[in-house]
Structure formats: C-alpha cells, structure tokens
C-alpha cells in the first residue's frame, strides 16, 4: 500500500456511526433521534434568518480570519480577540491541537471511555495514548495530571461537563489543580456542554494561561451541529500557532453568520436551557417509571443506569433501535451499564417512553 507509515498501520475506524448511516442499515428512518446529543429544539430564529440571508453570498469564501465572530466571542468572554480561534467544530480543533503539540511517540493522557474522536486524532498523529479509568462516573482529573507528570505527557484531555456520563467537577476544583500541570504539557479543557452546566462548574482561568486551552461549540446549546463551528480559548502565542496548520477557509460564511447571530440572542439560549432542564427531568421520570436510575447531568443528555452490565445495556439499545428509537451508550465498563438519551421535544421522548418497557423485557429483565 502507498499510505504513509502512521495511517498504514491504523485500522479504518469511525468514532461515531451517524444516525443516517444507521437508518440506511435498518432500512427505515428513526422515530426518535435522541442519541447524538444534538439540540432538537433548534437554533435561534435569528440565527436561521442570518444563515438564510447569507446563503445568497455562498459564492464567496468565508472570512478566513473569522474576524467579526472572533471579536464578538472575545467580548462575550472578556478576553482579547487574539485568545480566540474559530474552527470547524471542536472535533477539528482537537485534531489541530494534537497536530500542533504531539510528535510521534509523545504521550497523551485521557480517560478510558471519554470522547473517542480525540483518541482518533492522537492515533492519527502517532501519539502514545494513555487511558485512565473514571472514578465514581467522573473523569479523575487528579489522576490524569499525576500520570501526565509521571509520563512527561504533552497533552491531557479532560471534559467538564463530561460526555458520556453527564457528570461534572466544580470549577474551583479544576482551577486549584492547574499548578499540577507539568512543564511542557497542555490541558485541553473540553467545555462543549458549558452552557447547560451550573455556573459553579466553570473554572475562572485567565484566557492567557499557557497551560490550558478551552474548547467551546455552537453544536449543543446553540443548536447548530450541522453548521460545524466551534472555537478555542487560549494564550495568544498558542492560538497564533494554529495559523501554521489550520484550514484557513474551513469555516463557511453561512456558519459564521449563524454563530454570530446565535451568540447575540441570549433570550433564545435561556429558552433552550429551560427546555433542556424540563427534558432532563422527563427522562429521569421515564427511567424511574421503569425501575431504572438517571445519573445527575449538567448536559443536554442523561445517562440512564440499566442496573446490570454492558451486555444487558447493549441488548436494551438494540431493541430500542428496532423500535425506531436512536440512542447511544458508553463504550467501556463500568460506564457501559448505561444508555445515553439526548434531551428532545416531547414527541420524541414519548416514543422513547413507549419503547423502553419492551426493550427492557426483550433484553431479559424479569
């Protein structure tokens, strides 16, 4: 084969099989699309209007500097625009961060069961990925940083709030541990679900702190997953490094216009928070009504403990799929005792509520 050495020795993997691919496999659309942590309540009407207006200008490349959006984000976060990098969602920004920081053989620390797309990027650039177990259904930041010091790691990945469990750490705890980050190591703080979390979960960190890069997205609370747009907050010299390797015209102008309008619509964001709160409570009631327990969540999804092992949870998932309900589950034990259900409008949660009892029965629960 003619591939370069690193990809030549990698398996052909897809971190997440999309619902469209699964619909093609099953030969029918899903009744409830509640597995990808999308925001089914939709984006701000102002964002939709802005994107529709911008469609007529799609013959132009987008602003390669993302100037207007970067400055608006800087105002939103109270930092200098030089601390902001806009990219094609957090997934792309994670890949760029790995490319910028990791040489073949460099050690990278993450949690076993955490976001697999990050692992995919580390493997693609030849990093040595070290995974540590969750502790009490949360990523163990102290253990991650201890291992980073011991292994002289270049990167540590830590999500707060966490996917797939919905758990979170207090921001003060995270800030207190920054001094544990070893010299030459960068902490990636993935805050994709930050807008759903309690204020106390978000640490106060100087945007210019060279030890940390924070990732945010318009895919979740802002309801723009299909637009593929997110951003990083970090020290100016770190952010400037992205210009060496990024796709400068990768963020299209429709996405830029939508993100800028969404950022300005604080009332819609609060409306989404309220709807997600109500949906989390509804999912909890559905779980309890079936003798299951819902884990506390600071995200737009809920992990439901099925009360047994991963094999049982996978059987539940399979029967839900047959019933037209798309949900997902964590991939490693003991997290895989759970299924993960995205917050969604009532009709989709109705479909989940109707299908779950039969799924539990088909999985073999007495």
pLDDT (average), residues 249-269? 98
What pLDDT sits at residue 14?
Answer: 80
What's 134's domain CATH number? 3.40.640.10
**Residue 277, both tokens:** 């709160």
**Residue where one domain finishes, among candidates 265, 290, 305:** 265
101 with 218, same domain: the answer is yes
What pLDDT sits at residue 1?
Answer: 63
**Residue where one domain finishes, among candidates 202, 236, 265:** 265
In angstroms, rounded to a whole number, what is the distance separating the alpha carbons of residues 177 and 143? Answer: 11
Instruction: Please give the mean pLDDT across all residues of the chain.
Output: 97
53 with 198, same domain: the answer is yes
What pLDDT sits at residue 15?
Answer: 81
Over residues 117-175, the pLDDT tens digits come to: 999 999 999 999 999 999 999 999 999 999 999 999 999 999 999 999 999 999 999 99
98 with 172, same domain: the answer is yes
Res 93 pLDDT > 60: yes
Res 89 pLDDT > 60: yes
In angstroms, rounded to a whole number, what is the distance separating the alpha carbons of residues 222 and 51? Answer: 14
In angstroms, rounded to a whole number, what is the distance separating the alpha carbons of residues 352 and 360? Answer: 12
Over residues 58-85, the pLDDT tens digits come to: 999 999 999 999 999 999 999 999 999 9
227 with 274, same domain: the answer is no
242 with 157, same domain: the answer is yes
Sorted by sequence, the CB contacts under 8 Å of residue 248 that are 6+ apart come out as 64
100 with 213, same domain: the answer is yes
**Residue where one domain finishes, among candidates 265, 282, 298:** 265
168 with 289, same domain: the answer is no
SS3 32: strand
CA nearest neighbour of 153 among 70, 219, 211, 77: 211
Question: Residues 139, 181: contact at Cβ < 8 Å?
Answer: no
pLDDT (average), residues 95-111? 98
Res 16 pLDDT > 90: no
Q: How confident is the model at residue 95 (pLDDT cuts 50, 70, 90)?
A: very high
Considering only 13-22, 207-216, 314-323, 354-363, which range has the smallest mean pLDDT?
13-22
In angstroms, rounded to a whole number, what is the distance separating the alpha carbons of residues 236 and 183? Answer: 18
Bigger pLDDT: 366 or 318?
318
Burial of 182 per CB tally in 10 Å (0-12, 13-18, 19+)? middle
127 with 207, same domain: the answer is yes
Q: Tell me 194's DSSP state.
A: G
Q: How confident is the model at residue 223 (pLDDT cuts 50, 70, 90)?
A: very high
201 with 312, same domain: the answer is no
35 with 55, same domain: the answer is no
**Residue 136, both tokens:** 């009490």
**Residue 132, both tokens:** 């540590």
Question: Residues 47, 222: contact at Cβ < 8 Å?
Answer: yes
169 with 294, same domain: the answer is no
Computed over its alpha carbons, how large is the radius of gyration of the chain? 20
Q: How confident is the model at residue 13 (pLDDT cuts 50, 70, 90)?
A: confident
213 with 71, same domain: the answer is yes
Please name the residue ranges forming H helices in the chain.
5-8, 19-26, 45-55, 67-77, 89-101, 116-124, 141-151, 171-176, 236-241, 253-264, 266-289, 310-322, 346-362
Over residues 236-245, the pLDDT tens digits come to: 999 999 999 9
pLDDT (average), residues 329-346? 97
Count of domains for the chain = 2
Q: How confident is the model at residue 366 (pLDDT cuts 50, 70, 90)?
A: low
Crossing angle (nearest 10°) for helices 89-101 and 116-124: 40
Q: Structural domain of residue 332, as residue ranges?
A: 5-42+267-362
What's 322's domain CATH number? 3.90.1150.10
In angstroms, rounded to a whole number, what is the distance separating the alpha carbons of residues 127 and 340? Answer: 29
What pLDDT sits at residue 17?
Answer: 87
What pLDDT sits at residue 12?
Answer: 86
């Amino acid at each position: 084969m003619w591939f370069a050495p690193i990809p030549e020795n990698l398996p052909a993997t897809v971190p997440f099989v999309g619902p469209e691919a699964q619909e093609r496999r099953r030969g029918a659309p899903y009744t409830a699309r509640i597995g990808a942590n999308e925001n089914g309540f939709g984006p701000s009407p102002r964002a939709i209007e802005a994107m529709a207006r911008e469609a007529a200008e799609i013959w132009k490349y987008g602003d390669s500097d993302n100037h207007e959006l970067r400055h608006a984000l800087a105002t939103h976060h109270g930092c200098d625009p030089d601390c902001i990098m806009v990219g094609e969602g957090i997934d792309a920004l994670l890949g760029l961060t790995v490319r910028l920081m990791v040489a073949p053989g460099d050690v990278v620390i993450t949690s076993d069961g955490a976001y697999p797309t990050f692992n995919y990027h580390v493997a693609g650039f030849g990093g040595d990925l070290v995974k540590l177990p969750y502790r009490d259904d949360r990523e163990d930041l102290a253990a991650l940083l201890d291992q980073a010091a011991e292994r002289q790691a270049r990167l540590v990945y830590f999500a707060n709030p966490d996917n797939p469990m919905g758990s979170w750490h207090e921001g003060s705890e995270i800030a207190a541990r920054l001094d544990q980050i070893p010299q030459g190591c960068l902490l990636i703080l993935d805050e994709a679900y930050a807008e759903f979390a309690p204020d106390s979960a978000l640490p106060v960190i100087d945007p210019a702190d060279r030890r940390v890069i924070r990732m945010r997205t318009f895919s979740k609370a802002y309801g723009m997953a299909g637009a593929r747009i997110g951003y990083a907050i970090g020290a100016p010299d770190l952010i400037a490094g992205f210009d060496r390797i990024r796709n400068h015209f990768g963020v299209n102008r429709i996405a830029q216009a939508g993100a800028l309008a969404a950022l300005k619509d604080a009332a819609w964001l609060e409306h989404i928070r309220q709807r997600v709160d109500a949906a989390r409570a509804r999912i909890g009631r559905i779980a309890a009504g079936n003798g299951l327990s819902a884990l506390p969540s600071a995200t737009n999804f809920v992990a439901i403990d099925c009360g047994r092992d991963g094999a049982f949870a996978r059987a539940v998932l399979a029967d839900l799929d047959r019933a037209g309900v798309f949900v997902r589950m964590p991939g490693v034990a003991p997290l895989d005792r759970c299924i993960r259900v995205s917050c969604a409008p009532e009709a989709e949660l109705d479909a989940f509520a109707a299908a779950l009892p039969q799924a539990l029965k088909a999985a073999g629960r007495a």
